[in-house]
Amino acid sequence: MLTYPPSSFAGYVDSAYRSGSLIVQPRMGFGDPETMRRGLVEVRRSGVRAVGTITLDSYTRTGDYEALRRALDDGVPLNGFPLVTYPHEVTASVLEGVWDSEFPVQVRHGCPLPGDIFAAISDLGLDASEGGPVSYCLPYSRVPLEESIAAWSRACERFAVTSERGVLPHVESFGGCMLGQLCPPSLLLTLTVLEGMFFRAHGLTSVSLSYAQQTHFEQDLEALAALRRLGEEFLPDIDWHTVVYAYMGVYPFERLAAEALLRDAAELAVRGGAGRLLVKTPAEAHRIPTIAENVRSLRLAAAAAAGVENAGAAGVRRETGIYEEARALIEAVLELGEDPGTALGRSFERGLLDVPYCLHPDNPGRARSYVDETGRLRWASVGAMPIGPVPDTREITGSDLLASLYYVQRKYDRHALREMRVEPEGNEPGGDLTIR
């Protein structure tokens, strides 16, 4: 059994999981240090088992430090915390008295070239971040995949060295959230497991494997059972846990609908055996949420999770081949090289991995997916990926794509509007609006 440092991110999640608690986590980040500190304080005081988040601004993510400096000089509000640009003393003042063994903090960013970010994290003594060479390159940038893989290799190796100071560095793969939606489960599992193996190859011994809530509860539950099985098979020698993201696509506009979607995410996380849930708020259909809105959603998710029994693999009603597809993809990629980074790069060159609707130049762009009449996310075509044949190969039209993109939003909003005919809008969250 792994011995955790007393204040480690991974140890805190493990302790909560063993006690039967789901960790809930916001995505929030603010440019103003006082606001960022207040956000962390309010999350800690929320009364639920949570970890803090410092999400970085878009200038830092893209490495545009000159524009960031101008924005700071001109007092332009930022959409995240400029960790690299602020002196470490400023960040330390944000964390002082808030970040400790009872309240870990993770840095989230979205950068394909994360060297500066991981240098700042390491210098500050923080022990948790997220991303990956594929998952933070293909959706967010035009940086060549080869460059991202090389940059992430160096960053992970630098971060891994912090273990010599008694830190347990932890990185969460974003691979299970590729593009947020319309990426069938088997490919999401493939990407997050391969990124976990990439992290291990570059010295990290503590990782998390992610999965984003998609369009069909039972399909997602099967995917999470498959993810745990794949983690046990391909990462048996390091510490890992799974993390679920509340739906990352077009969000419902109605508050009741958004809250129902979040409650379903919490149930999915518990029944799927996840250690953490990344929470969204009803405000995200319209604007960046406030601190109070983040805290409200954390409490709602925690309350929903508390009423769910962990069913694990036994809760999967039927198998549809998600595990088999993911394993076939993983094995095909690993045949391309002993080093996971090299293998990942070659897999996209040869079309063995192909993310539907992803416009990055290094993505083959032949795979397509759609939401079927039951709400399940399916392949329309798989390109050269070794998981065929697809039983229902079809051409995807623009109207098909729009219908799939808006499927969840329309489903939950319509249900909420029916509910609102009998329930006043002012009701507090917590009522039963589970949607299947």
The string of pLDDT tens digits covering residues 211-257 is 999 999 999 999 999 999 999 999 999 999 999 999 998 889 889 99
Half-sphere exposure of 94 (CA within 13 A, CB side): 27
Per-residue model confidence (pLDDT) at position 23: 97
Per-residue model confidence (pLDDT) at position 287: 80
- pLDDT of 107 > 80? The answer is yes
Report which of 197, 194, 230 is spatially closest to residue 352, judged by C-alpha positions. 194
C-beta of residue 60 within 8 angstroms of C-beta of residue 68: yes
Q: Which class does domain 9-315 fall in?
A: alpha beta
Rounded to whole angstroms, how far apart are CA atoms 53 and 33? Answer: 13
Lowest-confidence segment of 35-44, 52-61, 296-305, 312-321 by average pLDDT: 312-321
Per-residue model confidence (pLDDT) at position 337: 93
Per-residue model confidence (pLDDT) at position 2: 61
Give the neighbor-by-neighbor strand order of the sheet with 276-278. 23-25, 276-278, 239-245, 206-212, 170-173, 128-131, 105-108, 52-55
Q: Which residues of 322-342 are buried (b: 16+ CB within 10 A; e: fewer)?
A: bbebbbbbbebbbebeeebbb
Question: What average pLDDT does range 358-385 have in this prediction?
Answer: 94
Rounded to whole angstroms, how far apart are CA atoms 175 and 208? Answer: 10
Question: What average pLDDT does range 198-215 have in this prediction?
Answer: 97
Provide the pLDDT confidence category of residue 434 given band limits of 50, 70 and 90.
Answer: low
The string of pLDDT tens digits covering residues 260-274 is 999 999 999 999 999
How many angstroms separate the Cα of 361 from the Cα of each of 12, 77, 149, 190?
Answer: 39, 32, 15, 20
**Model confidence pTM above 0.75:** yes
Per-residue model confidence (pLDDT) at position 391: 67
Mean of all residue pLDDT scores within the chain: 92
Rounded to whole angstroms, how far apart are CA atoms 394 and 390? Answer: 9
Rounded to whole angstroms, how far apart are CA atoms 228 and 140? Answer: 27
- pLDDT of 178 > 90? The answer is no
Per-residue model confidence (pLDDT) at position 311: 60
Count the neighbouring beta carbons within 10 Å of the beta carbon of residue 77. Answer: 11
Lowest-confidence segment of 49-58, 70-79, 116-125, 179-188 by average pLDDT: 179-188
List the domain boundaries for the chain: 9-315
Rounded to whole angstroms, how far apart are CA atoms 18 and 158? Answer: 31
Lowest-confidence segment of 92-101, 307-316, 363-372 by average pLDDT: 307-316
Question: What average pLDDT does range 54-66 have in this prediction?
Answer: 96
Per-residue model confidence (pLDDT) at position 431: 43
Rounded to whole angstroms, how far apart are CA atoms 323 and 364? Answer: 23
Per-residue model confidence (pLDDT) at position 424: 40
Provide the pLDDT confidence category of residue 283 given band limits of 50, 70 and 90.
Answer: confident
Per-residue model confidence (pLDDT) at position 179: 79
- pLDDT of 425 > 60? The answer is no
Per-residue model confidence (pLDDT) at position 396: 85
